[in-house]
Structure 1
Amino acid sequence: MSGSGSIDRPRFLWVVTGATLAFLFAPLVVVAVFSFNSSASLTTLDGASLRWYRAFFDDADLLASLRLSVVIAVIASVASVALGTLVAVGIRRGSRRVGGATNGSVFLRVLTPETATGVALLLLFTQLGIPLSTTTVVVSHTVLCLAFVAVVVGSRLALLNPEVEDAAMDLGATRLHAFRLVALPVLWPSIVAAGLLSFVLSFDNFITSFFTSGVGVPPLPVRIYGMLKFGVTPVVNAIGVLMLLATVLAVGLSLLLTAQVRKLRGSRPEEVARG
């Protein structure tokens, strides 16, 4: 409190920020520490060891689920980037009335609870007679990530003056060539960043995977959920740390590309296209 009785706002905000960060990251620190525990205890540290990481890499079932999750994430990322970029271009370069309605639908999809989406996809596949499999998981993850790609790419495309593409067409370029030569050089950092975001969203997704995966090898998050039914083991901690590292790496690359996008915002689109 200051002399006038008001709250010391900067100090108070620092306390709230520190408490929030501690609440968010303390569980991750605990998981990381106990993933190196030499014993199976989840409450007592008995020395450092890589025992549980070796147990993970020696488990054929876990490795199969890991490979499946990576494959699903890669395919879903590529598909969602391709479709989401087309949606973003349609919203920003198409009819204003149709683009406005589509943009609202995209944001509605982003805000829709994932549980509702997962149940809806499950009912859709069931009603169409499509058996649940890896294909249904890939389709579902693509639907999940597509809206995020459209938002990320569309926000960058909105900053590009369409008159630059019109000038290219006045010089003899077709609309497709104008987009490829003028817009894509400016959009590629956003497209790659959206792809990395899609990979992260797909790789560690549980809810949609749980509702749309069938028999056979499950994705890694679903496999972990099945393991937890029989009790928590330090192997789960090791898996969590590895997934966290993969996520941090992807997010770090995405942040670097976002910084590149910010630099491009200060450049004229025609200069970027020539570069």
Structure 2
Amino acid sequence: MTGKTAPARRTPARRRAATRRPRFAIAVTVLFFALLYLPVGVVVLFSFNARKSLTVFDGASLRWYRAFFRDDLLLDSLGMSLQVSFVAMAGSLLLGVALALGLVRNRGRLGSLAGLVMLVPLITPEIVTGVAAMLLFKGTGIPLSTTTVMLAEITFSISYVTVILRSRIAALNPETEEAAMDLGATRRQALRLVTLPALLPSILASAVLIFALVFDDFVLAYFTTGVDPQPLSVRIYSAIRFGVQPTINAVGTLMLAGSIALIALALAIPRLFGRRGGLDLLSGE
């Protein structure tokens, strides 16, 4: 009887120990998120400050947002950043899709070597990439301008697109494309009508992600941009060297909101397409 009742007496203690919250881990987690997001929260808060102060909050106002939309230099930089982001997104998608298809379908040593080389930009410090791009452009006599920023961003973004699409392409059933060719489609038609539509959710998610990454990028843009116009991130850096202005807080808040929206959209696109696909199957379409 004693041997049977002893475990029963220890059971409540064990249950309490199992359900006890790890206070140290919770404290570390709270401290981590506080240090990470508290400065961002301060920037957002003081972007609505009615007073021209970075230490005293004196009521809510949209004063600095209106000042941003009246600043021609900042608006020109915003337009350049949008232009660079769109071009980099389109160029990296075009090259990244082709590279991902080639890497998945080439099973030889050359394909494995190319896949390894493709991962190098992801692990290389961005400042090294920026300096290398600047030296390349200056060594070839190409003046730094908006075009050089676009070329550098496209080159840097191809690896991200390839990594995202490569796993998706490997998961596709090759028999579907083979069946399309058995029905009379050429290899290009099978690629256009079967493979690319299946990759569309991943392509759109990659496009949104690349747009957000390029729009917020500073290091690569700083080393490859010309004198004027400059990307918005570089313009902000140039402005804060002479003192942080409340307008910069408004710009940073708008960039933060845009980046969060784009990343949320990139995460939601595959789910939306998956849900839509399931509804189409249920409806017989």
Give the TM-score normalised by structure 2: 0.87
- Alignment RMSD (CA, Å): 2.3
Alignment correspondent of 2:3: none
What amino acid does structure 1 have at the position aligned with 2:123? Answer: L
Distance in 1 separating the partners of 2:169 and 2:274: 13
Determine if the alignment matches structure 1 residue 131 to structure 2 residue 143: yes
Change (3 A) 1:52 1:154: same
Alignment correspondent of 1:236: 248
Alignment correspondent of 2:192: 180
| CA deviation after TM superposition for structure 1 residue 86, in Å | 0.7
| CA deviation after TM superposition for structure 1 residue 9, in Å | 6.1
What amino acid does structure 2 have at the position aligned with 1:175? Answer: R
Alignment correspondent of 1:256: 268
Q: Secondary structure at the match of 2:55?
A: coil
Residues 89-98 or 238-247, more deviating = 89-98
Change (3 A) 1:11 1:260: farther
Determine if the alignment matches structure 1 residue 147 to structure 2 residue 162: no
Percent identity between matched residues is 46
Q: Secondary structure at the match of 2:134?
A: helix
Distance in 2 separating the partners of 1:262 and 1:155: 17
Contact conserved, 1:85 with 1:149, CA < 8 A, in 2? yes
Determine if the alignment matches structure 1 residue 68 to structure 2 residue 85: no
Distance in 2 separating the partners of 1:260 and 1:96: 36
What amino acid does structure 1 have at the position aligned with 2:139? Answer: Q
Alignment correspondent of 1:116: 128
Contact conserved, 1:118 with 1:212, CA < 8 A, in 2? yes
Residues 99-108 or 146-155, more deviating = 99-108
- 5+ residue gaps, structure 2, are 1-11
Determine if the alignment matches structure 1 residue 79 to structure 2 residue 91: yes
| Count of paired positions | 268
Distance in 2 separating the partners of 1:173 and 1:194: 28
Change (3 A) 1:12 1:178: farther
Change (3 A) 1:170 1:9: farther
Q: Secondary structure at the match of 1:119?
A: helix
Alignment correspondent of 2:217: 205
Residues 252-261 or 47-56, more deviating = 252-261
- 5+ residue gaps, structure 1, are none
Q: Secondary structure at the match of 2:192?
A: helix
Change (3 A) 1:11 1:178: farther
